[in-house]
Amino acid sequence: MGNEEKQMEMIAITVEVSGHVQGVGYRHVVQSCARDYGVTGWVKNQSNGTVAALFEGEEKVVLQLIDCCRQGSQRADVERLDVKVEEYRGEFSGLVIR
């Protein structure tokens, strides 16, 4: 097998976060974590009180970002994360708050 280079597995994941996650700086914390990890996509408040997000990037760092989503901001109270794997498209250059 020699000097085989490992291919980075690129993935896309959608997340819906339930709990007290609006009006507490949650999206800004997620955006900051995404910037640190080099993950792209978007995060936005939903009319039903949840926060939705789409993350694209290397599998390892996307999974780390999901851990960040479990924590949220200091004032957030995350009750539940619903995560779904999506088709990776590589269409974003950063993570934007919508």
Assess whether 80 carries a catalytic annotation.
Answer: no
Which one of 3, 27, 48, 98 is the catalytic residue?
27
Phi and psi at 63, nearest 5°, equal: -65, -35
Q: What is the 3-state secondary structure (H, E, C) of 16-66?
A: EEEEECCCCCHHHHHHHHHHHHCCEEEEEECCCCCEEEEEEEEHHHHHHHH
- Residue 27 annotated in active site: yes
Rounded Cα gap, residues 81 and 16, in angstroms: 6
Of the candidates 3, 45, 75, 98, the residue annotated as catalytic is 45
Q: How far apart are CA 89 and CA 76, in angstroms?
A: 30
Q: Which residues are part of the catalytic machinery?
A: 27, 45
